[in-house]
Each structure stands twice: as structure tokens, then as C-alpha cells.
Copies of this chain bind each other. A is one copy, B any other.
Amino acid sequence: MNEFDLIKHFFSRSTPTYDLGVGDDCSLLTPLAGMQLATSVDMLVEGQHFFSDVDPYLLGHKALAVNLSDLGAMGAVPRACWLALSLPRVDTEWLEAFSEGFFHLAEQADCPLLGGDTTRSPQGIVISITVIGQLKPDQALLRSAAKNGDDIWLTGQLGAADIALRQLLGDIPTQEKLLAACRPALEQPWPPFRFGASLAGVAHAAIDVSDGLVQDLRHILKASACAATIDLHRLPIAPALQGLPAHLIHQSVLSGGDVFELCFTAAPTQAPQIQALAAAHGVEVTRIGSIHKGQGLYVRDEESTRLAPEQGGFDHFS
């Protein structure tokens, strides 16, 4: 199977009639009149972002999911995607499963694959996905848009992806039941991208929790020049973590990456609207704290309020 057969067999599916998909020098897309386009690019590298033996169906899903998560964090509705894929060899079984996982989510998200690139990479698998979404001008959920007095909200639950990763890396001993309960959060995240899009014009700032809650929320605080306090006892912890040592839970919840839930801020008057939207989208939301004047991110428990740990979160070059 050569490069062109590979693209045709695995990656050419029907394209909306108003667009031009796989098979020319470029794909073509006609933007809706008056809409802004939000674009995100994420690269996933074998051995760095995923294990070599990960289920390729789940990898196809996750590679697109992390990009849809970025669109949701901007308040944009998915419109189209492009896939650049570098492989050591043509493994049709792997490609079959990978493309199934990818397209299953692409169809759910109404985000057709319009093009991309396939190439050989002697060293390992590299996946780079570009997504484009659309939104009304001036409604983007910018990191710089948090306002003094805003509530801080979080979708979903924290901790499971990190506890799964730590077990797979051997950082903590593997408990079969715990791993089984936490693994889907790591390997098949379902970011609330439709709910994120519905927050455009309702919420202020948003970010998706990819590098860890503390680190990602700090990006909002820095861009918006404000401070925040989050309540440790309000953080929505994945039930599977029950029984683990408290310090481990706190670490995973505050600093664990790969969560792909949304952290966003909104005026307190918007709370009923946010809860209604969340219910309509079947998304769990929790108010975890608030934005205030000053600098820094504080974490409050029953005893005290302290600055959040400095070394939270994931940095690819640290």
C-alpha cells in the first residue's frame, strides 16, 4: 500500500458539499458570513504523549479530542480538521483502528477531516492535528477576560487521568481496579466542547485543563492581571480516588494534567444560566472559587489559605 492508497483507504470520507476535502494541494472551506474562525494545533508524540502500545482506536479519539477541547475553551463550534500523521511503517490494522477512533469522534463533533499529510518517520509515531471552529466576533472566551468578582467554574472531575498515568509510569503501585476505573479519563477523554461553545457570550475567561488546574488557571490570572482563591473542599474529585492518601489526591487534583475539562470564569449573576446550559449538555459543573484583585493563586482548606504550589503542572521541556 503506497501513500496515496493509504490516504484514500483510511482517510477519505465524505466532505460537506460546500467544502473541498482530501485530494488536492489544499482543502477549501467557505466561512459562514460574519463569523470569526478559531484555530488550534496540537502535536502528539509517541513515548511522550502516549505509550507505544496504546489502543490505536483510543489514540485516534484522543488526538482529535485534545484539539476539540481547545475549541471549546475558546467558545467555538467545531467546523473542520486536518491530520498530519507520521508513521514508522504501514500497519493496516493499526491504521484501521486509529482512523475509526478519529472519525467516530469527528462525526460526533460534526468536524469533517478536510485534508492533511501522511509521511514516514523512522523513529516513531507523530500526530499533528489542526482544528478550525467558528464563533461570533467578540464572544471568544479569552484568557485575558476574567473579571474581579467572577466565579471560577470547572466541568467534570479531577484526578483520574493523573492517577492512571502514575500507575502506568510506575510512579505509584498499580491496583488493577483503580487503574481500570481511572484509565478511560486518560485514554479516552470527552472534553465538553459543545458546552464550551454555548458559553460564548455567557462566560468571561476559559481554559482547558491540559497541564494541570493550578498551572492552567495561572495562565488566566496572568493574562487577566488578577488573583484567585479556590476551595480545596469544593474541587470535584473523581470517586475512584477515594481511599488514596490525601497528599496524593491533592497533587493529582491540583497539578495533574491531561484532564481536558474546562475551567472558566463568569459573573455570579450568570450562575443560573450556566447551570441550565450544563444540564442541557449533560455536563457536571462545580463552582470552585472566585477571582479577586491582587496577584497569585490561593488554595483554601478548612485550616488556612495558602499560595498554590509553584511547581504544579506539566512543562514539556522541564
Identify the A interface with B (CB < 8 A).
1-4, 6, 20, 23-31, 33-43, 45-49, 70-71, 73-74, 76, 80, 82-86, 89-90, 114-124, 126, 128, 130, 132-133, 137, 140-144, 206-208, 223, 315-318
Contacts and interface: CB of A to CB of B under 8 A. Distances in A.
**Residue among A1, A28, A46 having the largest count of chain B Cβ atoms under 10 Å:** A28
A106 to B, nearest CB: 15
A120 B317 contact: yes
Contacts of A41: 82-84, 115-117, 128, 130
A36 B41 CA distance: 21
21 contacts: A2-B317, A3-B318, A20-B140, A24-B144, A25-B70, A25-B208, A27-B39, A29-B39, A31-B31, A37-B37, A41-B84, A41-B115, A41-B116, A41-B128, A42-B84, A43-B85, A43-B128, A45-B122, A90-B317, A119-B316, A120-B317
Contact of A28 (B23, B25, B36, B120): B36
Contacts of A140: 20, 24, 26, 28
Nearest to A120: B316
**Residue among A33, A40, A70, A317 having the largest count of chain B Cβ atoms under 10 Å:** A317
Contacts of A130: 39, 41, 82, 130
A43 B84 CA distance: 6
Given A40-B26, A123-B123, A86 B45 contact: yes
A48 to B, nearest CB: 6
A6 B86 CA distance: 24
A180 B315 CA distance: 41
A316 B82 CA distance: 19
A196 to B, nearest CB: 9
A137 to B, nearest CB: 7
Given A2-B315, A48-B122, A123-B47, A38 B42 contact: no
A154 to B, nearest CB: 15
A39 B40 CA distance: 13
A231 B230 CA distance: 73
Given A42-B117, A45-B121, A86-B43, A315 B4 contact: yes
Contacts of A206: 25
B29 A117 contact: no
Contacts of A82: 39, 41, 130
Nearest to A37: B29
B45 A3 contact: no
Given A6-B317, A43-B126, A26 B74 contact: yes
**Residue among A3, A71, A85, A121 having the largest count of chain B Cβ atoms under 10 Å:** A121
A47 B119 CA distance: 12
